Amino acid sequence: MTELTGLTLKAALEGLKSKEFSSTEITQAHVEAVAAAKALNAYVLETPEKALDMARAADARIARGEAGPLDGAPLGIKDLFCTQGVRTTACSRILGDFKPTYESTVTANLWRDGAVMLGKLNLDEFAMGSSNETSAFGPVSNPWRANGSNQTLTPGGSSGGSAAAVAADLCLGATATDTGGSIRQPAAFTGTVGIKPTYGRCSRWGVVAFASSLDQAGPIAKTVDDAAILLRSMSGHDPKDSTSLPDAVPDFPSFVGKGVKGLRVGVPKEYRVDGMPAEIEALWAQGIAWLKDAGCEIVEVSLPHTKYALPTYYIVAPAEASSNLARYDGMRYGLRAEGRNLEEVYENTRGQGFGEEVKRRILIGAYVLSAGYYDAYYLKAQKVRRRIADDFKTVFERCDALLTPATPSAAFALGAKDTMDPVTMYLNDVFTVTANLAGVPAMSLPAGLDEKGLPLGLQLIGRHKDEGTLFSLAGAIEKAADFRAKPQAWWL
């Protein structure tokens, strides 16, 4: 049954519908693949019994002719999404053995449409990281390796488990979240497709919070079609989330394959950064050529406040994180450390429960929100954020979408970025954070390999609530790039 795990989500759904195979069969094949791939550390919790129960229920619905849009499809769930009765940790020691008594809206939407849960996927602790090295469960290994090398590479972060699982055929697709690039950067590093939709498109209810004004759920998938299918099910208005868009969900898959002739695609000059590898520059030029061939008009545009995006993000995000993470005090759930008095219990619990990167961001956040510094840092960052959003508004008066690189490099080795210099790691988000600050949709898709045989991605950024145009453009690039490379299964 191993060939079943190699199917795309779209092909699998068609096969299930035509009864070429059952959900039980394709789920069992994935359960076995996950069990054989422990070396990747993509899953932090496997739920094979639950998966097979859900698969049998899907088979019954299919037999009755009552199949939903995702019926019988086995998926992986990032361990940031609360799953009722199934351990949810955000890959932090502080949540311990927490089993939510409720289901996140996004996962509830997937189960409503018939999807099957294979387990919970690894991530950077509380989604804070760009390499999946801050997880309390240890780092995820990228399924890809450079030609002739046995060196283990990062799958990117924070959604490293989601990206690695999709790339290694350990699920048909996965949920992920993106606060500053945590869907798009791992997708680029693993040769998969990832979309961060418009802020508010997917409900944040039941998703463990990092930075509430930036966090957005989205899918990581094998193809553009698959990403569109998953996003359609994940999206929708949710009265439990005050930031949820009150709009009807567009039929995202219908945009894939749609003609792009006449669309104006902007190329922002500020994304040509110093020290960018020549092969990233060449891939970007190739992407421009593909879109020209498809009938798009290419225009050079300027996003003048781009240079302030990283410092703005690393003030706003830690400020919100320090507020959101104040709830983890050892009183109601999760880890509780001993202490001689209440204050010491708080201190010991938080000291032992949070990892170094999370502590760093809480401290930065508390500092920029403190008296005397609030105006100098946080308030100023919010004003710059408004300027960044206005830049996008201005360029989208002239063009329909933007094309940029997804990352400044291919996947790097685990441990390669000096953890004593976190700024080096933060620079990985240079092309992605602007879309989060502005709340606009953006997606990464694989477009080629570097000289070492590692995947490289292109990024498309769209207008507010216009994911449809991104899917059309991504479909055109995917067709032109014809990216079919797969990692060698060294982990078996």
Residue 6 tokens, joined: 């190699």
Q: Which of 352, 406, 334, 5 is nearest to 182 (CA)?
A: 406
Residues 6+ apart with CB under 8 A from 125: 90, 91, 92, 134, 135, 136, 354, 355, 357, 358
Beta bridge partners of 462: 401
Residue 486 tokens, joined: 């797969």
DSSP code of residue 153: B
- The answer to whether 231 touches 195, Cβ cutoff 8 Å, is yes
d(CA 488, CA 476) in angstroms, rounded, equals 27
Annotate 81-116 with DSSP letters as a single string: B-BTTB---TT-GGGTT---SS--HHHHHHHHTT-E
State yes or no: is 78 an active-site residue. Answer: yes
Give residue 430's region: left, alpha or beta (phi > 0; psi -120 to 50): alpha
Annotate 286-309 with DSSP letters as a single string: HHHHHHHHTTPEEEEE--TTGGGH
- The answer to whether 176 touches 183, Cβ cutoff 8 Å, is yes
Handedness of CA 91, 94, 99, 101 (dihedral sign): negative
CA atoms within 13 A on the CB side of 130: 28
Beta bridge partners of 120: 45, 77
Beta bridge partners of 74: 116
Among residues 158, 159, 235, 409, which one is catalytic? 158
Among residues 22, 23, 78, 244, which one is catalytic? 78
d(CA 177, CA 329) in angstroms, rounded, equals 24
The residue type at 403: L
CA dihedral 339, 344, 347, 351 (to 10 degrees): -30
- The answer to whether 295 touches 258, Cβ cutoff 8 Å, is no
Which residue numbers are catalytic?
A: 78, 158, 182
